[in-house]
Amino acid sequence: MFVPSQEEQVGKYKDILKETHKGTSGVRSQIPGVYDGFGDLYRAAYADGELSSKTKELIAVAIAVHDGCDGCIASHVRSAIRKGASSQEMAEAIGVAIQMGGGPASIYAAHAWEAFQEFSEAPA
C-alpha cells in the first residue's frame, strides 16, 4: 500500500504542518538545544502512564482548540489519530474544549474537526 511522504500529502492542515516545520527550521538551527529540550519534554509528557498517550493527545487537541492554535491542532490531531483516536473520542475532546472556551473555541472546534477528517482520509 502506497503511503505518501509528509511532503506529498496535501490538505489545509497538512500544509499548515509543512509550513510550521519550514518556518521553524531557521530558528531551530540557531538554538538546537532548546528544540532538543522541547522534544525531550514532549516525549516525557506524552509517554504512556496512568493516562494513555492517546488520551494525552486528545487533551492537547482540546487545549489547542481553546487557545486557537491551528498548528497545534494539526500536530495533535494527527498524533491522536496515529495513536488510535476514534472520531467519537475526537468529537468528545472537542466538545470539552467548546465548553471550556465558549464562542471562540467553537470556531476552532470546527478547525479541529476539519483536521481530523483530513488526516483520517489517508494513512497517518
All domains in the chain, ordered by first residue: 12-121 (1.20.1290.10)
Compute the average pLDDT of residues 8-33: 86
C-alpha dist (Å) from residue 2 to 5, 9, 122: 9, 12, 10
Check whether 2 has a pLDDT greater than 60: no
80: nearest Cα among 94, 69, 67, 68: 94
What is the reported pTM?
0.79
> What residue has cell string 532538543?
36
Under DSSP, the state recorded for 113 is H
pLDDT, tens digit, 9 for 90 and up, residues 66-122: 999 999 999 999 999 999 999 999 999 999 999 999 988 998 999 999 999 999 985
- Measured in degrees and rounded to the nearest 5, phi and psi for residue 25 equal -60, -35
